[in-house]
Amino acid sequence: ENVGKIHPPELERWGVSSRDRVTTRSGHPLKQLADRVAGVFGPIEFDLYLHRAHAGMLEIELTDPPGLLVPAHVATLRESEQVCLFARPLALLARGAHALGRLAPTEVALLMLAAGRLLDPSFGAGQADEDFLTQHAKRVQKALSRRARRALEEHAPAFMAAPRLDWEQWAFEHKKIASRVAVLLADDLPASVAMVRRMEGDLAGLRGAALAQGIALTHDLLRFWVSDAAFALRRRIGLL
């Protein structure tokens, strides 16, 4: 909650402003589709912006409510491809993990370590620069609402007592879950896999760790699609 107060949104990066928000009343087909996909997850709030900054994936800005940045080319895709693209960030949003759509895993880690310092001033010692963590904790404290502070006091002790996380792997696990949800809702494995390959896999011109992660995501979707869990979920939501 209130991550945007610590990492302010930058809509101008996409060539848009708050005035460009696409509302439900506009009747725009992509907004209608986004609302339909969001309805699968329950009541979640988000704003939608169309941009021409690139022709890649949907991204998240930490506005209030969170903003979905939708490349204009998405309007030309087939509906199953559109559903797949929208479902991923919306799944993150529904799980309260939408910061992963905007921040690097290391940035999320620093937020978590700083939040822990509100309960234990020594938490995270040795994991980041000490002065930075102290100042970051002050920024987090200032940004938290009273409700968020209560939630922190309730849930943070378990996180603080757990073994140190591999933040890159933790973020990738969230990404995998969101991608699995997306391929289920799209109900189109070939199109979903092709999109992953084209935008973040072996056809995206990536190298190194980013390419390895994209290939791993592709393989995970293929394995998941033929799993008992996927069949059960598809039956449950009426796709079989």
Distance CA 122, CA 68 (A): 36
User: In which element (H, E) is residue 60 found?
Assistant: strand 59-61
| pTM, rounded to two decimals | 0.91
Distance CA 200, CA 111 (A): 26
List, for residues 183-212, the tens digit of each pLDDT value: 999 999 999 999 999 999 888 888 999 999
Q: Would you say 127 and 164 are in contact if contact means Cβ atoms under 8 Å apart?
A: yes
Q: How many CA atoms lie within 13 A of 155 on its CB side?
A: 8
Per-residue pLDDT, 139: 94
Per-residue pLDDT, 240: 61
Per-residue pLDDT, 239: 76
Task: List all residues 6 or more positions away from 168 whose beta carbon is below 8 Å from its beta carbon.
Answer: 105
Per-residue pLDDT, 1: 60
Distance CA 4, CA 61 (A): 8
Instruction: For 185-222, give one letter per residue: b (16+ CB within 10 A) or e.
Output: bbebbebbbbbbbeebbeeeebeeeeeebbbebbebbe
- The tens place of each residue's pLDDT in the chain, 240 residues long, gives 679 999 999 999 999 999 999 998 999 999 999 999 999 998 899 999 999 999 899 999 999 999 999 999 999 999 999 999 999 999 999 999 999 999 999 999 999 999 999 999 999 999 999 999 999 999 999 999 999 899 999 999 999 999 999 999 999 999 999 999 999 999 999 999 999 999 998 888 889 999 999 999 999 999 999 999 999 988 888 876
Question: Which residue stretches of 46-188 are H helix?
Answer: 79-94, 105-116, 130-143, 146-161, 167-186
Smallest CA-to-CA distance from 114 within 134, 96, 131 is with 134
